[in-house]
Amino acid sequence: QVQLVESGGGLVQPGGSLRLSCAASGFLFDEYTIGWFRQAPGKEREGVSCISGSSDGSIFSKDSEDGRFTISSDNVKSTVYLHMNGLKPEDTADYYCAAFAAGWYRPDCPELAEYEHWGQGTQVTVAS
């Protein structure tokens, strides 16, 4: 059974940093595609970043459009991280990680509807 567990959210001041973690289990973490999404109150869920890893060592990753959020993975820990810097109040949202067809490497970022497994989310609040 695929399970994704997010952690690392919290309250942070504008300009601060957070590192979110997505711990994955239930599938082999040598071929994977994991995405980070966020959903602010009253808004639709939107993609932030994604990363894919392959058993041959290939890695594809896409950071946030403005470059403030970067993504990385630790295959030993089966964990994907979202490093968030220069946080702004508009980054306040629930952040979710999702797995695309767990166990499948894909060198692009799938659309939201293509992800099959979701975590429960972690809340990030940016306020002074």
What pLDDT was estimated at residue 102? 75
Residues near 12 by Cβ (< 8 Å), separated by ≥ 6?
Answer: 18, 87, 124, 125, 126
Half-sphere exposure of 79 (CA within 13 A, CB side): 15
Task: Name residues of the chain where pLDDT drops below 50.
Answer: none
What pLDDT was estimated at residue 27? 84
Residues near 17 by Cβ (< 8 Å), separated by ≥ 6?
Answer: 83, 84, 85, 86, 87
Positive or negative torsion for Cα 56, 116, 10, 67? positive
What pLDDT was estimated at residue 103? 76
What pLDDT was estimated at residue 19? 98
Is residue 116 a contact partner of residue 99, using CB atoms and an 8 Å limit? yes
What separation, in Å, do the N-terminal and C-terminal C-alpha atoms of the chain show? Answer: 40
What pLDDT was estimated at residue 58? 87
What pLDDT was estimated at residue 65? 87
What pLDDT was estimated at residue 30? 80
Q: Is 120 exposed, middle or buried (CB count within 10 Å of its CB: 0-12, 13-18, 19+)?
A: exposed
Per residue in 49-67, pLDDT (tens digit) is 999 998 888 889 999 888 9
